[in-house]
Amino acid sequence: MAVAQKKAETILNRIHQTVSSKNYHTFPWTSARESAVTSFFDFFGSNNTKPSGSGSTSSGFTSSGSTGSTGSASSASSASSASSGIFGSFISTQSDGSNRANGFQLSHMIAYVFAILCVLLIIVLFVHFFITPIFRLRPGTPGIIPVPGFDDGILYWSSSSALLPNATLPIRNQSYGYSFHVDIFIENPLAFSPTARLLFHRGGVLKETPSGKTLLGILQRYNVAVALTPDTNDLIVSVLNKNHGMETSILTNVPVQTPFRLSMVIIEQGMEVYLNGQLMKTRRFNAPPLDITGDMVPIPGLATLRQLKLWGRILSASEIREATPALTTAKDFNLGPIPTSTSCEDASASLSNATTSTMDAAVAAAASASRMSSLLSASSSGSS
């Protein structure tokens, strides 16, 4: 009897330790835990009550004779069976609760991570706007992390150049306060002309009879115009002011048979001219630009134009320098070498006249030599 009682007390102590453990109390299924504990203690508490009938003592585990031993063994067997059933139920409850706890903890972890990311984003945005730029929203602007999708420039002439109606342009209502770049490939710089050789213009009106070497000799009016000088590869960049005066900058000796990028920033007080991202000329206007808008018109023949990009705002030098897309390569232009003949009629005529004069001089010299030889022969015959 003492042994059975000791075993029962050992089981009770183990159950009590399990219920009292820290991990057990962290599970969220309180009702299942309490029902298991109640079942354990109710079972063992009922065996501690005094049974009815003779030969029993105050303990449910003590009795006299063989009947008492049999009762004790029966009680131990019942206790073992009951405890086994309760433990099975307890383990099943623990397993189901563990799955629920894992799901509960995972959802909470995701919520915590999301909350932390939101706080970090708010901090980073505060630093970006009020302390120092972190995100680079446009090429060339300050910042560390480039963010695509904020470039407000509009690209034209990606594969070919054609007239662009003013209604389709982002600068349709602006005669100044805008920026642009364009890639230029001068194929034949030897196509000389008595007048400026126009590459493209905006809002210009061509004269029926060109005259003179300035842009006003070939255009009645314009907002901006770009041309080569009549007989060199110097580039003329001009804006017409409200007094119909030309505000002109000249880039000397621009590349030929090599692509280059011309960029301009036109403001009310002046303009900046860039070559391949480098500032070449700055000009202060004598008067604001003439209030003219109009189509972008490329002039074919002398040069090929690609990647015209327009911004309806004033760009900084760094934005001009790092503007996208990259400069068009010579391979992308897919153009041949400089032609062996020139289309300049005046130059051809001059060359022809010079050749004729040289030939005439040679004939005259030959005739004079022949005459001199005849005279020498006659004088030697008379002497003899």
3-state secondary structure the chain: CHHHHHHHHHHHHHHHHHHHCHHHHCCCCHHHHHHHHHHHHHHHHHHCCCCCCCCECCCCCCECHHHHHHHHHHHHHHHHHHHHHHHHHHHHHHHHHHHHHHHHHHHHHHHHHHHHHHHHHHHHHHHHHHCCCCEECCCCCCCCEECCCCCCCEEECCCCCCCECHHHCCCCCCCCCEEEEEEEEECCCCCCCCCCEEEEEECCCECCCCCCCCHHHCECCCCEEEEECCCCCCEEEEEEECCCCEEEEEECCCCCCCCEEEEEEECCCEEEEEECCEEEEEEECCCCECCCCCCEEECCCCEEEEEEEEECCCCCHHHHHCCCCCCCCHHHHCCCCCCCCCCCHHHHHHHHHHHHHHHHHHHHHHHHHHHHHHHHHHHHHHHC
> What is the pTM for the complete model shown?
0.59
Would the pLDDT of 367 be above 80? no
For the ranges 23-27, 229-233, 247-251, 254-258, the lowest mean pLDDT is seen at 23-27
Strands 235-240 vs 145-146: parallel, antiparallel or unpaired: unpaired
What is the rounded distance in angstroms from the CA atom of residue 294 to the CA atom of residue 201? 9
Residue that wins the pLDDT comparison between 324 and 378:
324
pLDDT one-digit tens code per residue, 275-287: 999 999 999 999 9
Mean pLDDT in the chain? 76
Would the pLDDT of 376 be above 70? no
pLDDT one-digit tens code per residue, 286-314: 999 999 999 999 999 899 999 999 999 99
The domain defined by 154-333 carries CATH number 2.60.120.200: yes
- Specify the pLDDT at position 38: 56
Q: How confident is the model at residue 88 (pLDDT cuts 50, 70, 90)?
A: low
Name the β-bridge partners of 307. Answer: none
For the ranges 124-128, 227-231, 253-257, the lowest mean pLDDT is seen at 124-128
Residue that wins the pLDDT comparison between 209 and 347:
209
- Specify the pLDDT at position 234: 96
What are phi and psi for residue 35, nearest 5 degrees? -70, -35
Would the pLDDT of 27 be above 80? no
- Specify the pLDDT at position 348: 38
- CA 333, 337, 342: angle at the middle one, nearest 5? 115
Q: Which of 293, 302, 290, 268 is nearest to 188 (CA)?
A: 302
Average pLDDT over residues 330-356: 54
Q: Where in the chain are the domains? A: 2-109, 154-333
Average pLDDT over residues 133-155: 83
- Specify the pLDDT at position 317: 94
Q: How confident is the model at residue 354 (pLDDT cuts 50, 70, 90)?
A: very low
Would the pLDDT of 272 be above 80? yes
What is the rounded distance in angstroms from the CA atom of residue 201 to the CA atom of residue 181? 13
What are phi and psi for residue 118, nearest 5 degrees? -60, -45
310 CB-side CA count, 13 A: 18
What is the rounded distance in angstroms from the CA atom of residue 152 to the CA atom of residue 311? 7
Q: How confident is the model at residue 143 (pLDDT cuts 50, 70, 90)?
A: confident
pLDDT one-digit tens code per residue, 169-219: 999 999 999 999 999 999 888 888 899 999 999 999 999 898 888 999 999
Start-to-end C-alpha separation, the chain: 180
Would the pLDDT of 378 be above 70? no
